[in-house]
Structure 1
Amino acid sequence: MRRSDLIGLGVFLLLIVLFPLLGSTALVNTGVYALIYAIPAIGLTLLMGLAGQVSLGHAAFFAIGAYTQAILVTRYGLPMPVAAVAAIALAALAALLIGLPLLRLRGHFLALATLGLGIIVTIVANEWEFTGSTSGIFGIPKPAFGGRTYDSPAEYFWLLAPVVVIALVLAQGVVRSRVGRALGAVNDSEVAAEALGVDTYRLRLQVFVVSAGFAGLGGVFYAHWLGVVSPGAANFPLSVEFLLISVLGGLGTVWGALVGAFAVEFLDEAMRQFIPLVIPGAAGEVQLIGFGLVLVLVVALLPGGIHQAFTKLLRRTPAPGGEGGTAGALAPRRHPARGSALLEVRGLTKRFGGVVAVDDVSLDVRAGEIVALIGPNGAGKTTCFNMISGVLEPTAGTVEVAGTRTDGRRPNVFARAGATRTFQNLQVFRSASVLGNVKVGRHLRSGAGLVGGALGLPARKEERAVTEAALGALSAVGLAEHADRPAADLPFGSQRLMEVARALALEPDLLLLDEPMAGLSGAERQGLADLLRGLRAEGMAIVLVEHDVAAVLALADRVAVLDDGRLIAFGPPQEVRENPAVIAAYLGEEESDVRG
């Protein structure tokens, strides 16, 4: 854990000891609810802040955990720990069944689905006799361990606090892990993360399931503290409260969930006392409106929540750092035999309605060569790149990378076949440092999973190797000294080079570069050209789209020319240079300049 995490943990442990001793019974009771609600909020913070997915019905998983615990303990006599495992598992299973179809979609489908789930769970709990209908399930005993019953607010607070600490440590482990790094990248630019081999669907599903498990655990402690579980445990206002806790605390950190929980619970208590004084006879709906107003104000005025306000107060911006080290050279990689086919494109076609953007393009790229794809604006070059790399599904045609069919499949399949790309429009992981961006490129070259990351099991040796390789890639493009800078603060040209370094960190056999020299200075362009020649000498295959015709003809072994979506020439630079169709369609009056 980082020093800031250890300091925060130390402060929290101190408050755990002092709060029940110094606070009144009513205040400590409010603190108990804050700790209970902090657990699902931690999971929701992972889901929203890390995976970028919104849940509007997280109380459904909370209620599933609470009802399962209540039924198993009161009707079947299971011990609390055994029942808790089943309750968490059932909440996670519900999330898995929902997430499997819906997380393949984009947009707010998950939010709508969880909202619907909350309504369904509430109706089922109200109508089903097995769940006690409107009366709910009551008579749930207080936890008892070692001959001691935790039935007072202070004792329950002390029982809950270690559970919250463990939840925080596990969540922080996920955030700092290889999986957390990948999910942060997905949240910034899904297409760029997938091009580096990140399976966004799988990771988002995992985090969704884990988030539901946290909610189920919160439901377990809710059931034992309240002694009764009713349909209100799944209602929409409670989901709003979880959402408010996460947003108010700050989605940028799991610590925000804990801070937000205390802030919201004390705010809730204040509203209970204040609103009836202002509006006599006001009911819970008015309080819900109050929560809605607070949520709107936080989003509008302080989108980073209390966490953002605290960091601004300290006059520093939280950014990954301290990961720098000694920059090494770009490690040589063993590529397929020179001359072997790495990319085979046959009959590639893309239609957008009645417009044919790419028309029956066929080409091949071999190991140890640079192929340039040129053509006038709108010729279909980037569309070709998008179809080859899996960003777009072709209307017709096939794409094979090292013998693997990748057409119509996601970019992470393209990356797993040993290929990656950069983008014409920069795709920067803005929430990460320069080094953090490039470390995402090592996703396929490291193996720590979600559970290992949460438990801190991945060997430090793996992380050191990831950092060393990322620094080597940065060194290759001349950016090693900027490793700890926020990526968003780099100038445009440096961000372009960082994208190249990020792609190289994958150690691909096939590299697609979309206008890599745009925005670079003369010295940077020359340095990049020298780097590409060196990579070609090692056996890497490179395809680049570039508008600097002179640079392309000097660098490429073969040149493919597109015009109006059709391949009109493909061959050595000299042959293409003298092709009448190319001169007419693309070079035009620049022919004499190119010859010179």
Structure 2
Amino acid sequence: MTVRIPQPRGGTPTTRTRSRGFGRGEPAGFVVLALLLAAFPLLASESVVNVGVYALIYGLAAIGLTLLMGLAGQVSLGQAAFFAISAYGQAVLVTRYQVPMVVAAIIAVGLAMLAALLVGLPLLRLRGHYLALATLGLGIIVTVAATESEFLGATSGIYGVYKPTFGGRRYDSPAEYFWLLAPVVFLALLLARNIVAGRIGRALGAVNDSEVAAECLGVDTFRLRLQVFVLSAGFAGLAGVAYVHWIGVVNPNAANFPLSVEFLLMSVLGGLGSVWGAIIGAFAVELLDEGLRSLIPTLVPGAEGEVQLVGFGVVLTAVILFVPGGIHEVWRRLLARLQRPAPASDEPAAVGTDVEVDAAPLLAREGRPAAGAPLLQVRDLTRRFGGVTAVNAVSFDVRAGEIFALIGPNGAGKTTCFNMISGVLTPSAGSVRLGDTRIDGRKPHVFARARATRTFQNLQIFRSTTVRGNVSVGRHLRSGAGMLRGALSLPARAEERQIQRSVDELLALTGLAADADRPAADLPFGRQRQLEIARALALEPDLLLLDEPMAGLSGAERHDLVRLLRRLRAGGMAIVLVEHDVEAVLALADRVAVLDDGHLIALGTPDEVRQDPAVLAAYLGVGDDQEEVVASAPGADGEPARKDGA
């Protein structure tokens, strides 16, 4: 996307362009991690190094669970099931079929990922505790299947799995096995970090914040959740391979519930907000495990593993209550206090107001339908909620290069129409066509792929990220890096740099450049409205639906928004506007549709609508005290807009 930025007089705004490179302090963090992993076996006793081996093994599974829970927002209690599937697969291949270890590992991890794909297709349609219970059931199924299968050794399991041998060296001591695993864990952490920092990570973080907003920006939420579910199983499968080669045996206990709880505790204690937390949590939990093994029998003579599981439960509950962000969140807050950034200003940034700039078309693109061509066709659109008809047989067209307003009293059905057009709601009857494509009843990401998007009456910003991060999600469909390219990082860097350049241009255009790195949740309400519009424009839509965009804006911000919408119209974009500021809308729109109690009561130019008796009755008592908001704003020709909206 190429955008000409209006420059304020007297200077050029400075914007920062970021690639997907390492953030501040991350390179040093990886260097420190590498040094610690290399030195740990030299500094710790053999028993502690043995604990470290288990921490690395389980840390791999915890990295996958952190991606699934922290990134995709899906709670799983079945991570041990995929761990066990891979461990059993590896044991069978190397002991019974003499498959080389590395080849067997690839097959075993593939089995775990295939199992995740097959169970994820139905299970990921569930949400919240339903998904957690379903994945818990998966672990029980794997445990029972392994116990009852003679091929898998029943309760005894499969034993005799050899220690790894590379270059004529057998890795059979804790120190040697630790050094063998350390590069694997280091690489897994790096790949997971790259995914989180890239296009896929942004999209999944957005889904976790607001699924409907992410869908309306083109994110196929189910597909992405399935991808990360399968990837998470791959990490668990890799951990299962490392586990079976270390202890030499696998039995049904590898899929039991306590192990899933242990993986969960590692992710939560370390911090779901960062993949780094998985490794930190793994070491913390394994050391805690050793401590509980020694402490519980002293406190409760004759206590078995069930009491130890209670200890894990107490720790997990305490973390959720007192440190919900885990160790990573504590560390982040500490750094924030030490850095003490200067407070950000809530004053809107200056946006250029030159007549020449205000008249220039904005975001025009080749291939966009010609001005005046039918773009959106709504026919007999109806929505019923039980016995209540919220929208009844509404029909209208929207043309390219026009501002079309949809107005009406509260409860008239305006937002319901928006929801049906954008795919958030399925119509009870009627049809919606965008160009030549019928989109009614389709998901919002289909609407977005047809180059259309929307904002929301109730703000749907992505609160867990920054202003720049929000607008970057809007570029999801204008970029293409998938899971593999994102993990490898280098192939996606050029694309990421282009995304950030486009984002910085849009932030400057909408007056948000000064807040680019500010948490979106910290913006004032009016600036959050502007952020939603900037994020929608990042999609480069041909059709833009704005649901009450002027709500919460100051007078100056409204003037800027009016200028922006006129420039977008001049660039050929079609804009459908729902707004309660009736006089402002009538002065801005080319055509107006009026809804009342779910029925279309008027459709025409602003002058025609002003004089319609049905409209006058619906709006009895509405004055013109706010008419100057738009009337005084420069029109597309640089002159103040006339009162009749011409």
Q: Secondary structure at the match of 2:188?
A: helix
CA gap of 1:331–1:358, structure 2 versus 1, over 3 A, is: closer
Q: Would the aligned equivalents of 1:331 and 1:469 in 2 still touch at CA under 8 Å? A: no
The equivalent of 1:212 in structure 2 is 233
Matched, 1:425 2:446: no
Q: Secondary structure at the match of 1:266?
A: helix
CA gap of 1:340–1:316, structure 2 versus 1, over 3 A, is: farther
Normalising to structure 1: TM-score of the pair? 0.96
Matched, 1:332 2:364: yes
Q: Deviations over 1:258-317 (max 9, x none)?
A: 000000000000000001101111111111011011111101100100001112222359
Q: Secondary structure at the match of 1:315?
A: helix
CA gap of 1:496–1:577, structure 2 versus 1, over 3 A, is: same
Q: Distance in 2 between matches of 1:164 and 1:591?
A: 66
Matched, 1:256 2:289: no
Pairing of 1:228-243 with structure 2 (within 5 A): 228-243=249-264
| Cα deviation, residue 10, structure 1 | 1.2
Matched, 1:24 2:45: yes
Q: Of residues 190, 196, 199 in structure 1, which corresponds to 2:217? A: 196
Q: Distance in 1 between matches of 2:625 and 2:96?
A: 90
Q: Distance in 1 between matches of 2:469 and 2:123?
A: 29
The equivalent of 2:586 in structure 1 is 553
Q: Of residues 53, 58, 81 in structure 2, which corresponds to 1:60? A: 81
Pairing of 1:141-290 with structure 2 (within 5 A): 141-290=162-311
The equivalent of 1:323 in structure 2 is none
**One-letter code aligned to 1:300:** L
CA gap of 1:105–1:365, structure 2 versus 1, over 3 A, is: farther
The equivalent of 1:321 in structure 2 is none
The equivalent of 2:632 in structure 1 is none
| Cα deviation, residue 592, structure 1 | 9.8
Q: Distance in 2 between matches of 1:155 and 1:204?
A: 37
Q: Deviations over 1:97-145 (max 9, x none)?
A: 0111222343333322211110000001111001100000000000000
Q: Distance in 2 between matches of 1:251 and 1:110?
A: 18
Pairing of 1:31-50 with structure 2 (within 5 A): 31-50=52-71
**One-letter code aligned to 2:192:** A
Q: Deviations over 1:393-427 (max 9, x none)?
A: 11111111112111111100000011000000001
Q: Distance in 2 between matches of 1:411 and 1:120?
A: 36
The equivalent of 2:468 in structure 1 is 435
Q: Distance in 2 between matches of 1:136 and 1:238?
A: 17
Q: Distance in 2 between matches of 1:69 and 1:96?
A: 19
Q: Distance in 2 between matches of 1:344 and 1:331?
A: 23
Q: Of residues 596, 616, 639 in structure 2, which corresponds to 1:583? A: 616
The equivalent of 2:528 in structure 1 is 495
Q: Secondary structure at the match of 2:430?
A: strand
Matched, 1:569 2:602: yes
CA gap of 1:389–1:316, structure 2 versus 1, over 3 A, is: farther
Q: Distance in 1 between matches of 2:127 and 2:509?
A: 36
The equivalent of 1:444 in structure 2 is 477
Q: Would the aligned equivalents of 1:43 and 1:210 in 2 still touch at CA under 8 Å? A: yes
Q: Distance in 2 between matches of 1:515 and 1:317?
A: 40
CA gap of 1:147–1:208, structure 2 versus 1, over 3 A, is: same
Q: Would the aligned equivalents of 1:42 and 1:257 in 2 still touch at CA under 8 Å? A: yes
| Cα deviation, residue 586, structure 1 | 2.3
Q: What's the RMSD between the two structures over aligned residues?
A: 1.8
Matched, 1:116 2:148: no
Q: Distance in 2 between matches of 1:404 and 1:457?
A: 37
The equivalent of 1:71 in structure 2 is 92
**One-letter code aligned to 1:238:** L
Q: Distance in 2 between matches of 1:8 and 1:406?
A: 48
**One-letter code aligned to 1:438:** V
The equivalent of 2:325 in structure 1 is 304
**One-letter code aligned to 1:580:** P
Structure 2, unaligned stretches of length 5 or more? 1-21, 340-350, 628-642
Q: Secondary structure at the match of 2:336?
A: coil
Q: Distance in 1 between matches of 2:575 and 2:221?
A: 26
Q: Distance in 2 between matches of 1:336 and 1:68?
A: 55
**One-letter code aligned to 1:237:** P
Q: Would the aligned equivalents of 2:163 and 2:170 in 1 still touch at CA under 8 Å? A: yes
CA gap of 1:6–1:93, structure 2 versus 1, over 3 A, is: same
Q: Distance in 2 between matches of 1:59 and 1:212?
A: 9
Identity of aligned residues (%): 71
Q: Would the aligned equivalents of 1:331 and 1:472 in 2 still touch at CA under 8 Å? A: no
Q: Distance in 2 between matches of 1:389 and 1:37?
A: 43
**One-letter code aligned to 2:309:** L
| Cα deviation, residue 19, structure 1 | 1.2
| Cα deviation, residue 255, structure 1 | 0.5
Q: Secondary structure at the match of 1:123?
A: helix
Matched, 1:515 2:548: yes
| Cα deviation, residue 148, structure 1 | 0.3
Q: Secondary structure at the match of 1:458?
A: helix
Q: Would the aligned equivalents of 1:57 and 1:117 in 2 still touch at CA under 8 Å? A: yes
| Cα deviation, residue 470, structure 1 | 1.2
Q: Would the aligned equivalents of 2:405 and 2:589 in 1 still touch at CA under 8 Å? A: yes
Q: Distance in 2 between matches of 1:141 and 1:593?
A: 80
- Answer with 145-154 or 97-106: which moved more: 97-106
**One-letter code aligned to 1:477:** T
CA gap of 1:591–1:332, structure 2 versus 1, over 3 A, is: closer
- Answer with 534-543 or 458-467: which moved more: 458-467
- Answer with 329-338 or 437-446: which moved more: 329-338
Matched, 1:530 2:563: yes
**One-letter code aligned to 1:2:** G
Q: Of residues 6, 27, 35 in structure 2, which corresponds to 1:14? A: 35
Matched, 1:106 2:130: no
Q: Secondary structure at the match of 2:77?
A: coil
Q: Distance in 1 between matches of 2:622 and 2:569?
A: 32
Q: Distance in 1 between matches of 2:428 and 2:485?
A: 41
**One-letter code aligned to 1:534:** R
Q: Deviations over 1:329-383 (max 9, x none)?
A: 9653232111111110111111110111111111110001001110000111111
Q: Would the aligned equivalents of 1:72 and 1:83 in 2 still touch at CA under 8 Å? A: yes
Q: Would the aligned equivalents of 1:249 and 1:306 in 2 still touch at CA under 8 Å? A: yes
Q: Distance in 2 between matches of 1:251 and 1:459?
A: 25
Aligned length: 589
Q: Would the aligned equivalents of 1:248 and 1:256 in 2 still touch at CA under 8 Å? A: yes
CA gap of 1:343–1:189, structure 2 versus 1, over 3 A, is: same
Q: Would the aligned equivalents of 2:581 and 2:626 in 1 still touch at CA under 8 Å? A: no
Q: Would the aligned equivalents of 2:364 and 2:573 in 1 still touch at CA under 8 Å? A: no
Q: Distance in 1 between matches of 2:549 and 2:626?
A: 22
CA gap of 1:250–1:450, structure 2 versus 1, over 3 A, is: same
Q: Distance in 2 between matches of 1:486 and 1:423?
A: 19
Normalising to structure 2: TM-score of the pair? 0.89
Q: Would the aligned equivalents of 1:99 and 1:110 in 2 still touch at CA under 8 Å? A: no
Q: Distance in 2 between matches of 1:302 and 1:593?
A: 49
Q: Secondary structure at the match of 1:484?
A: coil
Q: Deviations over 1:417-445 (max 9, x none)?
A: 11000000001111111011001110000
